[in-house]
Structure 1
């Protein structure tokens, strides 16, 4: 088996840290637990990230990058086509990274939250159909509902389809 590159190893550390922070909570997760989950030493993890706080920052930056990709990918689309595609990609992100909803709750004090909040606001604006307060409330409920549902959903196509349909209905996205 070929050795992982430094970039691949860092990405694996971030993914495992994110899952553990999301499932156990940031305070209850130690760097040693992250290392144990990877089969590496604590020193190896700390070589890539000097502290648990630095790991949380990396997890939040990665989440912001994924949401930014959703928005940027839909820049060439317009109207309901862009909104539906963004909903589908957001549901996919939520289902593959179900810990993100929990991370948003625990990361309010972290400096990296700004980038995640900015990416979220860009997605929120993409999904709004109009400037009314009602539209903003529907978007917020759809985004949070998808993240909450993904934390507890079985990861299969029927759930994904139901989540996309429910979010699209709430956002009044036409087929």
Structure 2
């Protein structure tokens, strides 16, 4: 009887997944290439074969999330003043955060210390552009603050719950999604009446 060989997935994808987990759990600066290699079951040379450096690995880890926030930005411009479009945006934003909550954790919680790394700088620029675009659509300070608290609060809840120790990560994601959409929408309800008066 011959043992069938163990089939592993794509090494680069496995390394990205392990790096993402370690960058969240221990931080980018706290996770070494050797730790990533060990956790993934590869030699450090295998990591360096697929990624020239730890920064290149971080770029590969964050790039899909950053590209998606760029798409979200472009499709969101001009939508905040219309109630139906705003509701659709809220759902897209929450879905984005749920899909990329670990990447959001890195960008939100480690972004300052990772300044100068192109993918992180791109993410921060997109977030600033998104914020500026929405803020320019709202005429009053109270409206701008309400929107900022709603969106940043949702991002913070999911970014800080990215570790397995937090209660939100233990909830079924569909329940978390529905709760976040409901709460963010409730926070934004006054915008509809305020905007109709302006």
Aligned length: 170
Instruction: Give the corresponding residue for 1:106.
Output: 110
Change in 2 beyond 3 A, CA 1:30/1:74: same
Q: CA deviation at 1:168?
A: 1.9
Instruction: Give the corresponding residue for 1:144.
Output: 152
Q: CA deviation at 1:161?
A: 0.6
1:13-162 to 2 correspondence within 5 Å? 13-74=15-76, 79-104=82-107, 105-108=109-112, 109-112=115-118, 113-125=120-132, 127-128=134-135, 130-150=138-158, 151=161, 152=166, 153=168, 154-162=171-179
- The partner residue of 1:168 within 159, 171, 185 is 185
Change in 2 beyond 3 A, CA 1:3/1:14: closer
Q: CA deviation at 1:149?
A: 1.7
Q: Bigger radius of gyration, 1 or 2?
A: 2
CA distance in 2, matches of 1:103, 1:2: 27
Residue segments in structure 1 that go unaligned for 5+ positions in a row:
none
With normalisation by structure 1, the TM-score equals 0.76
C-alpha RMSD over aligned residues: 3.0
Q: CA deviation at 1:56?
A: 2.4
Q: CA deviation at 1:74?
A: 4.6
Instruction: Assess if the C-alpha contact under 8 Å between 2:79 and 2:89 holds in 1.
Output: no
CA distance in 2, matches of 1:38, 1:61: 20
